[in-house]
């Protein structure tokens, strides 16, 4: 009743689906959706966050985080590539991707052994930040979003923009 009784639907004209030409190289398409400038922000947020954690807490002597070295844009791209590889080549556990063959046990000997250690992969997996952890609450309040949505807002907006570069829905 508070909205009234007269409903007029919005008339949206028909238009066909428009699919634009994709880049020739798959890597160019990947970079369109995961651009350098965005990954550079993630690297900055991650390094600042881990630095803050290391300064503000006392960690057990064997804590993996104590071996942290600042990450870089190429390393984060490599980490993303490993996530894709792990998604395609299934193993029982994630650690199994780093196991090698030995006498009496024939393993799969994934090539990821050569590009990143399991400990480094786990460190990035745990501490990688796609948002500024120090200003999340303020940004969420400013945008009128819950923290969880504010944390992915920039990435979500970019994905929406990048998608419309190749497809205009009908």
- Give the DSSP letter string of the chain: -TT-S------------EEPPPPSSHHHHHHHHS-HHHHHHHHHHHHHHHHHHHHHS---TT-GGGG-----HHHHHHHHHHHHHHHHS--SSGGGGG---BTTB-----GGGGT--HHHHHHHHHH--SS-TTTHHHHHHHHT--HHHHHHHHHHHHHHHHHHTTEE--
Q: What percent of the chain has pLDDT over 90?
A: 44
Instruction: Check residue 48 and give its pLDDT.
Output: 96
Residues 121-148: tens digit of each pLDDT: 999 999 999 999 998 888 888 888 888 8
Instruction: Check residue 70 and give its pLDDT.
Output: 97
Instruction: Check residue 9 and give its pLDDT.
Output: 86
Instruction: Check residue 127 and give its pLDDT.
Output: 95
């Amino acid at each position: 009743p508070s909205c009234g009784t007269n409903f007029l639907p919005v008339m949206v004209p028909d238009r066909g689906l428009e699919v634009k030409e994709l880049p020739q190289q798959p890597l160019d398409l990947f970079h369109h959706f995961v651009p350098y400038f965005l990954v550079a922000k993630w690297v900055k947020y991650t390094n600042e966050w881990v630095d803050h954690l290391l300064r503000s807490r006392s960690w057990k002597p064997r804590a993996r985080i104590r071996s942290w070295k600042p990450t870089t844009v190429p390393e984060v791209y490599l980490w993303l590539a490993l996530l894709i590889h792990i998604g395609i080549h299934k193993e029982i556990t994630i650690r199994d991707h780093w196991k090698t063959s030995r006498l009496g046990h024939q393993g799969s000997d994934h090539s990821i052994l050569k590009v990143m250690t399991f400990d480094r992969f786990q460190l990035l997996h745990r501490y990688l930040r796609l948002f500024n952890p120090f200003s999340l609450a303020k940004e969420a309040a400013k945008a009128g979003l819950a923290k969880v949505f504010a944390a992915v807002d920039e990435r979500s907006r970019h994905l929406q923009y990048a998608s419309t570069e190749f497809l205009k829905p009908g």
